[in-house]
Amino acid sequence: MRNPYDVLGVAKTASPKEIKAAFRKLAKQHHPDQNPDDPKAKDRFAAVNQAYEILGDEKRRGEFDRGEIDAEGKPRFAGFENAGAGGDPFGGFRRSGQGPGGARFEFRSTGPGGPGAGGFGGAGDIFSELFGSAFGRGEPEMGARGPQAPEMKVNLDVSIEEAATGVRKTALFPDGRKVGVQLPAYLEDGQEIRLQGEGALLPTGGRGDAVVRIRFRKHPRYTLDGRDLRVDLPVSLRDAVLGAKAPVETLGGRVAVTVPPWSSSDRVLRIRGRGLPTKTGEKADLYVHVRVMLPEGGDAELEALMRKRGA
């Protein structure tokens, strides 16, 4: 782990204001959301935050300068290293009173903000200023995996066919990662899927959660009606008058439907079980709307017949 002064690019004599300014600049520069195409940005960002966790806290900075903690904020047993030279073998400890056999010793606190404190010290305020209030102020929110980052929101466009079959899709995240998302058997437009540990990089390591919001793409053929689907079926005037068998593309493949004689436009034919899955595990229906189509370019015989009938 590099010396925190080197990471922030400041001298050991730097003032708290100078340290804070250096941190603000580097945190914004190296934040993963600002560098979606740079896979190493998250490591630089973590290093900057780690350095500020020490130098941004007056007590911890003093402990580091005295050699009592290392660049990761862990206690050092420096006294043992100097014992042979007459140094204090308990330099990494703090005397806190008398006990049997002499003084007793306790570890010095390594948490920012005082003994036993955890979190980021003043970094929470700065993150809030740089990246929005979702970072919170003061100590970060704690969860099962420690400090929590704000949820990463991701949109995922899904076709009607994909929504009906529950396939695995790849979502492109803001930081450039491609993450596989397993679509559930029942899926709705606007539904949110939580992915634990796939979100934004936590300043202390690991990742928060991501929330993937499903968006149904507009389909060139089908129209959604709840869980049912609707589709148009072009039919010639002859087939509309005399009746016919016509092919219809469904989510489960092509099927033939019977167009009854004398079918007007917008007559609706129902095909059961060819819609989207329902919550009960069944499938909704597909409704076929007959659309009577006149021949392109005209039809002399049909035109003559219409003139004769209108005479």
Q: Is the pLDDT confidence value at 234 over 90?
A: yes
In the chain the domains, ranked by start, together with CATH numbers, are 4-74+110-138 (1.10.287.110), 149-216 (2.60.260.20), 223-310 (2.60.260.20)
Question: Mean pLDDT throughout 202-228?
Answer: 91
Question: Mean pLDDT throughout 4-25?
Answer: 92
Lowest-confidence segment of 147-156, 184-193, 241-250 by average pLDDT: 147-156
pLDDT digits (tens, 9 = 90+) for 137-147: 334 444 444 44
- What pLDDT shows up at residue 183? 95
Share of the chain above pLDDT 90, in %: 46
- What pLDDT shows up at residue 148? 53
Lowest-confidence segment of 39-53, 65-79, 88-102, 221-235 by average pLDDT: 88-102
Q: Is the pLDDT confidence value at 105 over 50?
A: no
How far apart CA 222 and CA 189 sit, in angstroms, is 15
Q: Is the pLDDT confidence value at 29 over 50?
A: yes
- Most confident of the following: 110-114, 282-286, 306-310: 282-286
Whether pTM exceeds 0.85: no
- What pLDDT shows up at residue 98? 42
- Most confident of the following: 112-121, 124-133, 226-235: 226-235
- What pLDDT shows up at residue 216? 96
Q: Is the pLDDT confidence value at 110 over 90?
A: no
Per the model's pLDDT, the better-predicted residue between 307 and 253 turns out to be 253
Q: Is the pLDDT confidence value at 21 over 60?
A: yes
The SS3 of residue 222 is: coil
Q: Is 285 exposed, middle or buried (0-12, 13-18, 19+ CB in 10 A)?
A: middle
- What pLDDT shows up at residue 194? 94
Could you please report the per-residue DSSP string of 141-188?
A: PEETTEE-PPPEEEEEEE-HHHHHHT-EEEEE-TTS-EEEEEPPSS--
Q: Is the pLDDT confidence value at 123 over 70?
A: no
> Confidence band (pLDDT; 50, 70, 90) for 131?
low
How far apart CA 252 and CA 161 sit, in angstroms, is 9
Residues 6+ apart with CB under 8 A from 3: 71
Query: Are 182 and 163 contacting, i.e. CB atoms less than 8 angstroms apart?
Result: no
- What pLDDT shows up at residue 87? 44
The SS3 of residue 37 is: coil
Residues 6+ apart with CB under 8 A from 231: 221, 222, 223, 248, 249, 286, 287, 288, 289
Question: Mean pLDDT throughout 272-287?
Answer: 95
Mean pLDDT, the chain, rounded, equals: 80
